[in-house]
Amino acid sequence: MNQPQVPPQVRIWQIGLGFANTAVFHALIKAGVIEQMREQPRSAAELAQACHLNADMLYRTLRFAEANDVVTRDGDQYALTDVGRYLLKDVPGSLYMGLMLIGSEPWQKAWNNFSYALTTGNNSFEPAMGAGFFDYLDRHPEYGVPFNQWQTILTTMAASAIAEGYDFTPFGTVCDIGGGHGILLKNLLSANPHLRGILFDQENVVKDHALSDLAGRVEIQSGSFFERVPAADVLLMKNVLHDWSDEKCQVILDRCRAAMQPSSRLLIVERVIDSPTDLMGAFYDLHMQVLMNGRERTEAEFSLLLEKAGLKLNRIIPTKSPMKIIEVSI
């Protein structure tokens, strides 16, 4: 039996109220309400007392959460649904840190200033917060630290899918460019015992690397990929290019091209927008623009970008994650 369609005006209203979801669930996480339901159902009165909240307002907020399938109610007892459990900290696949960041002041101010990006084509974060995105995070560790933790979580969630998605057998060395703390590289080396690795990122990032147990197989190098890229059989970049404009990407790709041999491969691990109904891809495209003048790209846009750097897109390999592996050669 076909489900009744949502009337167009109702659908528009649902879209327009998206801001309320962010505000409500950020507040519930921050107040500790979600955590209080980790082990067992609780009443609104119990939750309000434990979290020092207004009981009536919490009851109404939990009603909103129930309508969004985040909690379920049995009598006066509220419990997390399977969906809601992903808002808990430290559970597999947790989205806790992502919701805490996107609901925080810098992210919200940048998005509230979206009309600036729409009018000028420039990011709206800098005029809203008085500094570029990464400079702001450096100056404000209360946001910079959880942002880096969130990036590590996202990489951990996708790492095994990426390691399984490409055959590294013909290669001896892999350099993870902008590789953060080395979570992805660690997965690749664990899955491919013959490989040796290079972790390349800023000094303040690689000093906290997670590769100590692979010390005999890993070299740690610090620097900027705008200036140089270490040579290796495989150059790997996960979610690097989407941070930057086409002009900035051109510089990064030029540095990669200079480090490559005919037998080398460059693997770009990113979302590839391949459908007009790809809502998450379209969202992240705008999100990267709002924050830092970045963008998500289509296959045609990647191909053109690579061609300008003297590189060739060989193939795009799907993985068991939202990321795809773009294989590139000279």
Active site residues: 242
Handedness of CA 260, 262, 268, 272 (dihedral sign): positive
Q: Choose among 221, 22, 180, 159: nearest CA to 102.
A: 22
Q: Cα 175 from chain centroid?
A: 21
Contact (CB, 8 A) for 146 and 97? yes
Q: Choose among 290, 292, 176, 295: nearest CA to 242.
A: 295
> Which residues 6+ apart lie within 8 Å of 28 measured at CB?
34, 61, 65, 87
Residue 69's CB is within 10 A of a number of other CB atoms, namely: 11
Burial of 185 (0-12, 13-18, 19+ CB in 10 A): buried
Give the integer Cα–Cα distance in Å for 174 and 233. Answer: 6
